Amino acid sequence: MSQAITAMNRRAYFFVGLFLILAVLMALAGIAFGSSWVSFDRIVTVIMGAGEKTERLIVLQLRMPRVVIAILAGGAMAVAGYLLQKVTRNNLASPGVLGVIDGAALGVVVFLALLSDESNSLVTSIAWQPVAAMLGAIIAIAAVFVLSGRQASSAIRLLLFGIAVAAVAKAAVMILMLVGPIYRTTQAARWIAGAVNEVNWGEIQVTALGLAPVLLLTLLVARRLPPTDLDEVSARSIGLNLPVFRVAIFALAAALTALAVSFVGGVGFIGLMAPHMARMIVGRPVIPGLIVSFLLGAIMLVGADFIVRVMFAPVEVPAGTVTAVIGTPYFLYLLMRKDRTNG
Amino acid sequence: MADRVSVENLTVAYGAHAAVDGVSLAVPKGQVTVLAGPNGCGKSTLLRAVRRLHAAQSGRVLLGETDIARLKEKELAREIGLLAQSPSAPEDMRVEELVRLGRYPHQSMMQPWSPEDADAVESAMFGTGVAELRDRRLGSLSGGQLQRVWIAMVLAQETDVICLDEPVNHLDMAHQIDCLDLVSRLNRERGRTVVLVLHDLNLAARYADQLVFLKEGRVVQSGMPEELMQEELIGDVFGIRCRVIEDPVHNRPMCIPMRNTSPRFAVQA
Amino acid sequence: MTRLPRGLLYCGLLVLLCIVGYASLTLGYKLYTPADIWGLLTGASGEAQIVLMQYRVPRVVIAPLVGAALGIAGVVVQTLSRNRIASPDTLGLNAGASFAVVVASVGFGVSSMLGLSAAAALGALLTALLVFAIAAGSGGLSPIRIVLIGVTIAGLFSALVEVVLTVRETMLDQLLFWLAGAVVDRPLSLVSTGGPVIIVGILIAFLLAPSLDILQTDDQTAKGLGVPIALVRVGAFASIALLTGASVAMAGPVGFVGLVVPHAARAMVGLKHVHQFIAAALFGATYLTSADVVARFVIYPLEAPVGAITAVVGGCVLVVLLRRRAA
């Protein structure tokens, strides 16, 4: 390997280490802050297994789950965004345009509509809502792939089918939210906006179990990513079956997004911003890029939730607000630059 | 012979780099002038600047006696027509629709479509041999047919001067000759002044009345093909060693490239 | 595909429009009889006529007007961006207008229909400028890029709207229906402000028609033919902004009309813009009026917002277009 490439990789892994540390710090901050402050050493004590009962309650039941789910969801979204941007060779691609988020929203709204009685309260536990979201997301992805048929090999056309599916899903959400009474509407609207709510460790386990294999798969596949910059014929000649590969990448991105949104809702902006920033910092190396994306996404969502809790307490503003508000100017800045888009 | 177009000390720059650097050129009326040179020599930029598609940093272009900077868009479009290097149009557009677009510079709010317009379109389509394709969609035509349709559009503009920017690059051999023969005929039969940018030196030598060599944004030499097609000059401008012979069929000079003199492509031992 | 003579086509569409308009007057939660309608036309002032004037007549006027405006705007957008999947809503104009409405009502306490409508129009206009600036600044109107820019901006504004609505839950119900795009419960007075704006927008479009014909080719060819490209683009954007802004002001953000109608128009009359505009206006008017009728029955006895209908139809049409590689 030439000197330039080794230097590039070394630099990339340096950033991986840096962001790992930042992520841990951010997580600790997220656990520490809130209606009552828990100092860092107390947090460590609780994690070790000791500590007062109220402290343990706050840290283990309230704060940590929230932070952990934010890490998992933010990170998954970011990785999904990285994959999409790589495979479409376009910096503006993000999980939001695949129709996945709208499909998940439809799942949530259908769930709320079907399983609420006349007095506008839920007949089953709200814990089933994420399952509905996942189902909705998966159906949306499946619809996009089935409808696009052979055209699935073209990244742009796949995105366009995603837009169509998203539109239909959005319309259906709209109608259902009108047909139903207010409880469901605000509940659904909150989720759609992106809210890191109270989750329990059971749900986190489910998410982690789902995410782990997908992330592993992503890392394995990542080695093959660089040649996606090539055109189809050239890629084929070095042994990479591009259309099939692209579909696989899209499926991975969709699975990650579905897992992320099931608990958290629409935090699509992270999937746009994090990968882009990761690539700017780390450069071309793919595996460091993926890891830094994950870490950045985690930091962003934990940070956003943190801001929400600190600044807007006691109002529960969805974390999606913050990501959208920060994302807007950043995104505009992104668009204004004369970006080199390869696709 | 009166100059139809004269370029005086023209400079066109992209940022710090001058693509056309102080070029002076005379384009004689009723003749075919061909601009030739290696990649990046500025021939396309010069052509586009003549048609005022690029702003010039200094110098001017005269049409007869008039500085083209003084002409309005539509006026200029009635004097000089340009066939762009990679023109595009919707695939479902019909041939006649595209040719009709060439009449735009002659139309205004008051007079939408006149008999003169119709005549010009018909004449253009017959002159380029695409009249029987008039209802076909552009997407259904072959490369050669499509190029003829574009030429018909420029012809319908009824300009005195016609510029063509690398019109045969993407065509196969038969269609290249077809297309250039057509241009040559339009020059002879209809007296149009033609300025061509050509990539292929031999085609340039075959069709030019006046040949112009450009290198790094400057005119190296201009004159009759026989004057310019000299082995040493070609070596200087294009960086190749060659042998110049006479094309026995067309009595024009022809260049046979030999091993490259430029150290750029030398294989490392 | 053999084409009917255009005159015949336009007459046919006009007749269809009248039929659908009549249906819109009579059908709905309450059915009105032909006698009622006749009474309306002859100036009778019975109870039926009063209700008709208040509830039905506005929508029968607004729906075709908005349909025509969005249809023409769609044609201009698709030519301008050389992209047959583009439309005013995929440029984010609808979402921008919604956001303006939400900001006006939540931030500034505007509650009058006229006030909110003005906010909508302003939002559409500003978003058009924003998209224009971004596209111009980042060097290209390539089809992929513009679709992504537009869709992301639309997503951006939609997200912001949802966020504001969750913070101020009381506003949710009021605005939700309108935000989907609806012609119901709209005062006829809106037409007196929106109508003239639409007419100006249509006039500009017709003035630009010959230049737009040429802009279907590439920039160099257009310039070579003497088209003042920059000027034409500015004019086209103005037309789009006016047409969309007025439409959003009258009916809220109705999606996909500007996508579907131009394709139908092109299939009927070809590529010449003067004809595309007429066909788009007639077809758009008929399309949206029909959608409005359907909206009254799809979740009977409740009314669905017409925007939901057009989104579903539009989404399906987009899929069909993509599969047939017509776009």
For residues B80 and B161, is the Cβ–Cβ distance under 8 A? yes
Q: Which residues pair with B34 in a beta bridge?
A: B196, B211
User: Is A319 part of any domain?
Assistant: yes
CA distances from C79 to A146, C83, C259 (A): 30, 7, 12
**To which H or E segment does residue C27 belong?**
none
Residues A257-276: what's their mean pLDDT?
79
* Greatest distance between any 2 Cα atoms in chain A: 70
User: Per the confidence metrics, is the pTM higher than 0.90?
Assistant: no
CATH code: domain of residue B169: 3.40.50.300
pLDDT of A200 higher than 80: no
Number of domains in chain A: 1
Q: In whole angstroms, give the CA distance from residue C42 to residue A206.
A: 69
CA angle (B183 as vertex; B180, B188 as ends), nearest 5:
125
| Cβ contact C–B (≥3 pairs, < 8 Å) | yes
pLDDT score, position C65: 94
pLDDT of B9 higher than 80: yes
Q: What does the pLDDT look like over A81-91, one tens digit per residue?
A: 898 888 777 67
β B66-67/B58-63 pair status: antiparallel
ipTM > 0.90, yes or no = no
Neighbours of B24 (CB within 10 A): 13
β B80-83/B161-165 pair status: parallel
Q: In whole angstroms, give the CA distance from residue C233 to residue C217.
A: 14
Burial class (CB in 10 A: 0-12, 13-18, 19+), A22: middle
What is the rounded radius of gyration, in angstroms, for the C-alpha atoms of chain C? 20
Q: In whole angstroms, give the CA distance from residue B256 to residue C39.
A: 91
To test the contact with chain C by mutation, choose from A88, A163, A176 the residue with the greatest count of C C-beta atoms within 10 A, namely A163
Backbone φ/ψ region at B255: left (φ over 0), alpha (ψ -120 to 50), beta:
beta
CATH code: domain of residue A188: 1.10.3470.10
Rounded to the nearest angstrom, the minimum Cα separation between B21 and chain C is 22
Q: In this complex, is the C-beta atom of C152 within 8 Å of any C-beta atom belonging to chain A? A: yes
Rounded to the nearest angstrom, the minimum Cα separation between A256 and chain C is 20
Q: In this complex, is the C-beta atom of A82 within 8 Å of any C-beta atom belonging to chain C? A: no
Chains that touch B (3 or more CB pairs under 8 A): C
CA B177 to chain centre: 15
User: Is A343 part of any domain?
Assistant: no
Average pLDDT for chain A: 76
User: Is A341 part of any domain?
Assistant: no
Residues C174-184: what's their mean pLDDT?
73
Which carries the bigger pLDDT value, residue C189 or residue C175? Answer: C189
Of A252-256, B89-93, B238-242, C165-169, give the lowest mean pLDDT range: C165-169
Structure tokens at A253: 């991105």
Smallest CA–CA distance from B138 into chain C, residue: C217
DSSP count for chain C of H helices, then E strands: 14, 0
Percent of chain B with pLDDT over 70: 96
Write the DSSP assignment of B219-241 as a string of letters: EEEEE-HHHH--HHHHHHHH-EE
pLDDT of A342 higher than 50: no
pLDDT of C226 higher than 70: yes
pLDDT of A337 higher than 80: no
Q: In this complex, is the C-beta atom of C90 within 8 Å of any C-beta atom belonging to chain A? A: yes
Number of domains in chain B: 1
pLDDT score, position B200: 92
Q: In whole angstroms, give the CA distance from residue A104 to residue C243.
A: 34
CATH of the structural domain C64-323, one choice from 3.30.450.20, 1.10.760.10, 2.170.190.11, 1.10.3470.10: 1.10.3470.10
Neighbours of C325 (CB within 10 A): 8
Q: What does the buried/exposed string (b/e) look like for C95-128 if buried means 16 or more CB atoms within 10 Å of the residue's CB? A: bbbbbbbbbbbbeeebeebeebbbbbbbbbbbbb
In C, which residues are within 8 Å of A147 by CB distance? 319, 323
Q: What does the pLDDT look like over B105-133, one tens digit per residue?
A: 998 777 778 899 999 999 999 999 999 99
Domain extent, residue A307, equals: 3-336
pLDDT category at A153 given cuts 50, 70, 90 is: low
For residues B89 and C217, is the Cβ–Cβ distance under 8 A? yes
Residues C177-185: what's their mean pLDDT?
75
pLDDT score, position B14: 81
DSSP B171: S
For residues C178 and C120, is the Cβ–Cβ distance under 8 A? no
Q: What does the pLDDT look like over C8-21, one tens digit per residue?
A: 999 999 999 999 98
Structure tokens at B246: 């006479």
Average pLDDT for chain C: 83
Q: In whole angstroms, give the CA distance from residue B67 to residue B61.
A: 6
Residue C299, SS3 per DSSP: strand
Cα torsion A264, A266, A272, A277: sign? negative
pLDDT score, position A106: 87
pLDDT of B264 higher than 70: no
User: Highest mean pLDDT range out of A151-160, A323-332, C304-313?
Assistant: C304-313
Backbone angles phi, psi at B26, to 5 degrees: -115, 130
Q: In whole angstroms, give the CA distance from residue B10 to residue B20.
A: 7
pLDDT score, position B131: 93
Contact A186 C172 (CB under 8 A): yes
Of A72-76, C174-178, C274-278, C305-309, give the lowest mean pLDDT range: C174-178
pLDDT score, position C1: 42
